[in-house]
């Protein structure tokens, strides 16, 4: 039988002696929150993203970052440091029986909250029907599983299949750990999900012929390859934005609902809202070891099937003042030495290390990473003068809401994630979703340091400059200290009428550099690239040189300072060409000796970039020190310095 994790964790945030004594007496700090087990031991109710230098699990009932063996399920770098203990979505709002909002939902529960933390209010599967006829599908039916596709599965070699099996069956990184049967299972699961991709239930697909209907492609064979799929203009399972020739390389899809009243009430005491949630999680191939990006898209569909009076009559609610949130319990390496913050310009909530050394990252001689969740596409609300993104398309007369609230607290703090047994949990959650302090009956913002106006987005300072409201500061009689954090990134309010759909898209971003703060810098750099390129995707430069072109021609030659600098894993060098040129970009040491050649080829006019991974022409790591990089474009020569720290 799978054992629960019982990791001992001590509260170190918002230190107050009286509270500490009370919590110790009550046993608040005795153990880490135990995550509710899945409704089935069937591995089909779990799957993971696994093609890059990170892994991240999804469960069919809406709990993420937990493995089938109930371990931490988001790991970066892959096979090394677990960074997320559990994460999930939270939602809440006011339910009404009529559009005029004159008749509140019954049972004294106008405000209702659902979602998941260590327990889920949802069950696997879709909702069949609408309104009074809506009923949940069988939670154990084959269609209630977590689907996963990988475009290149048919041509995968032995090494990659072993690598996949090691991750899926939770072995060590030993390439010999997986059995031939388990390796075959991975290929069979990919083939099955590719063939049975549930477009009829809402799963996305690449509509290459543009007819709005999924036309299944021929099965892969020795005579029909991935290249034939694209060249022939065939539809395929998966997700893409505008460019149908550049879909995501690995995609997960599942659907769950909140119509199980027992499960719904076990989360925050609320009865169901009648929601179906369709989750898509995806990533693009990258060999980068210094960063990780994956995307999450959730569709909320108000299908009903809920009691609209105390007599048992059923229908669908009119939902307003709704809020959506990404909740997470990040354990960034060692769990109790973390700081957290938010960036309002990026709609980002994140966690970083409070010290330069982390015992878990140190096992692999790594600098602590920084990780965050950003809202790329918030819920839509009407605005005649704006346009919104919905289903990767621009829609006039609407706007996407940004991050509107951020909450960060730690285990044992009165302001932290409400307990599932708390009879006041729904009220407390609804305050957190709106950016208010949950300990007060009236709406009050969280306390802030002297000189900073309290608001719904605390900890929005810049840790690199030390300016603004930062974790680690004193707030009145409290002290913010490194601890085991919980973060909530919210967006709202919005409405969800019967049979309406809202969707939210987020990105998970991780960065690693030569110290804890430059890791934050790298993570935010990646977040900016993702934000700038959305709804198209951004590919992280990896160990090989990456080149990107801009449609706007530069006015002159330029060579930018590498980023990050100093660096230890890899660094990016951007440069601009006003016209086509033969280009050479090389690295030199302080004695003028050539160390590496990053580019030596003709390039078109535009903005380009290259990545240096700190290796010489022989592929060996060069020592720490100061180096120079020189750009030669025709008769033009430009150079700058950079610093490598091992």
Cβ contact 316:301 at 8 Å: no
Q: How far apart are CA 507 and CA 488, in angstroms?
A: 14
3-state secondary structure of 457: coil
Give rounded-to-5 percent helix, strand, coil for the chain: 15, 35, 50
Residue 286: Cβ within 10 Å count: 21
The answer to whether 627 and 593 have CB atoms below 8 angstroms apart is no
Q: How far apart are CA 362 and CA 366, in angstroms?
A: 5
> Which pair of structure tokens corresponds to residue 494?
């919005």
Distance in angstroms (rounded) separating the CA atoms of residues 390 and 297: 11
Q: How far is CA 296 from CA 89, 388, 398, in A?
A: 11, 18, 22
Structure tokens at 491: 């967006």
Is 350:373 a contact under the CB 8 Å cutoff?
Answer: yes
- The answer, yes or no, to whether the previous bond of 198 is cis (omega within 30 of 0) is no
Please calculate the CA angle 97-98-102 and round it to the nearest 5 degrees: 95
Task: Mark residue 619 as left, alpha or beta (left: phi above 0; alpha: psi -120 to 50; beta: remaining).
Answer: left
Q: What is the pLDDT of residue 233?
A: 94
Please give the domain boundaries of the chain with CATH numbers for all domains: 17-151+247-533 (no CATH), 152-246 (no CATH), 558-644 (2.60.40.4070)
CB 114 within 8 A of CB 275: yes
* Predicted confidence (pLDDT) per residue in 455-485, tens digit: 999 999 999 889 999 998 877 666 678 899 9
What are the average pLDDT values for consecutive 10-residue runs of the chain, which has 646 residues? 28 34 34 61 87 95 95 94 97 98 97 97 98 97 97 92 92 78 95 98 96 96 94 96 88 99 96 99 88 96 98 98 98 94 97 96 94 98 96 96 94 79 91 95 92 94 92 76 94 98 98 91 91 86 45 77 87 89 91 90 85 91 91 87 87
Neighbours of 392 (CB within 10 A): 17
pLDDT value at residue 174: 72
| Contact by Cβ (8 Å): 486, 411 | yes
The residue assigned the tokens 């300990």 is 439
pLDDT in tens, 582-636: 899 999 987 888 999 999 888 878 888 899 999 998 889 999 888 999 999 987 8
d(CA 97, CA 105): 6
- 177-214 burial: b if 16+ Cβ within 10 Å, else e: ebeeebbebbeebbebbbeebbbebbbbbbbbeeeeeb
**Tokens coding 480:** 């913010």
Assess contact for 616 and 624: CB atoms under 8 A. Answer: no
Q: Are 75 and 55 in contact (CB under 8 A)?
A: yes
Instruction: Give the N- to C-terminal CA distance of the chain in Å, as an integer.
Output: 43
The 3-state DSSP class for residue 108 equals: coil
């Amino acid at each position: 039988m799978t054992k629960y994790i019982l990791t001992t964790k001590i509260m170190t945030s918002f230190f107050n002696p009286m509270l500490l004594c009370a919590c110790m007496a009550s046993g608040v700090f005795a153990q880490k929150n135990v995550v509710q087990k899945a409704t089935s031991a069937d591995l089909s109710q779990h799957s993971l993203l696994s093609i890059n230098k990170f892994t991240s699990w999804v469960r069919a009932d809406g709990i993420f970052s937990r493995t089938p063996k109930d371990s931490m399920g988001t790991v970066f770098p892959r096979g090394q440091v677990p960074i997320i203990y559990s994460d999930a979505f939270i939602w809440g709002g006011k339910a009404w029986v009529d559009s005029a909002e004159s008749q509140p939902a019954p049972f004294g529960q106008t405000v209702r909250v659902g979602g998941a933390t260590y327990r889920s209010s949802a069950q696997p599967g879709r909702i069949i029907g609408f309104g009074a006829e809506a009923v949940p599908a069988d939670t154990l039916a084959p269609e209630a599983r977590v689907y996963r596709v990988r475009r290149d599965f048919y041509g995968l070699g032995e090494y990659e299949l072993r690598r996949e099996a090691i991750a899926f069956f939770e072995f060590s990184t030993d390439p010999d750990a997986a059995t031939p049967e388990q390796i075959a299972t991975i290929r069979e699961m990919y083939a099955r999900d590719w063939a049975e991709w549930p477009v009829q239930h809402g799963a996305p697909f690449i509509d290459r012929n543009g007819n709005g209907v999924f036309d299944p492609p021929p099965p892969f064979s020795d005579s029909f390859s991935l290249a034939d799929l694209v060249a022939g203009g065939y539809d395929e399972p998966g997700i893409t934005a505008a460019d149908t020739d550049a879909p995501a390389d690995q995609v997960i899809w599942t659907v769950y609902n909140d119509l199980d009243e027992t499960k719904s009430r076990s989360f925050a005491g609320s009865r169901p809202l009648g929601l179906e949630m369709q989750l898509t999680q995806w990533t693009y191939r990258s060999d980068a070891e210094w960063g990780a990006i994956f995307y999450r898209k959730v569709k909320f569909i108000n299908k009903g099937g809920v009691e609209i009076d105390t007599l048992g009559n059923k229908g669908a609610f009119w939902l307003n003042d709704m809020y959506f949130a990404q909740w997470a319990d990040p354990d960034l390496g060692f769990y109790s030495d973390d700081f957290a913050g938010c960036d309002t310009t990026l709609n980002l909530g994140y966690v970083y290390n409070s010290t330069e050394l982390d015992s878990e990252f140190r096992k692999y001689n790594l600098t602590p990473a920084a990780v965050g969740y950003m809202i790329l596409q918030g819920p839509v609300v009407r605005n005649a003068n704006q346009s919104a993104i919905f289903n990767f398309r621009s829609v006039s007369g609407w706007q996407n809401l940004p991050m509107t609230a951020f909450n960060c607290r730690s285990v044992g703090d009165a302001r932290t994630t409400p307990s599932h047994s708390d009879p006041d949990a729904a009220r407390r959650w609804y305050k957190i979703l709106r950016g208010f302090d949950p300990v007060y009956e009236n709406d009050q913002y969280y306390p802030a340091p002297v000189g900073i106006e309290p608001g719904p987005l605390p900890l929005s300072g810049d840790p690199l400059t030390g300016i603004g409201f930062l974790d680690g500061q004193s707030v009145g009689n409290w002290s913010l200290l490194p601890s085991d954090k919980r973060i909530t990134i919210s967006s709202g309010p919005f409405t969800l009428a019967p049979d309406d759909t809202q969707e939210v898209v987020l990105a998970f971003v991780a960065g690693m550099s030569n110290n804890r703060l430059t890791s934050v810098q790298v993570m935010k750099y990646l977040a900016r690239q993702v934000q700038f390129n959305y709804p198209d995707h951004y590919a992280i430069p990896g160990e090989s040189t990456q080149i990107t072109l801009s449609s706007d021609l530069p006015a002159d030659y330029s060579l930018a300072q590498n980023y990050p600098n100093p660096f230890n894993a890899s660094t990016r060098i951007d440069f601009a060409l006003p016209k086509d040129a033969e280009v050479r970009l090389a690295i030199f040491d302080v004695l003028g000796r050539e160390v590496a050649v990053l580019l030596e080829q003709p390039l078109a006019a535009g903005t380009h970039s290259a990545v240096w991974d700190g290796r010489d022409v022989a592929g060996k790591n060069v020592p720490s020190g100061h180096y120079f990089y020189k750009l030669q474009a025709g008769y033009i020569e430009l150079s700058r310095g950079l610093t490598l720290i091992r």
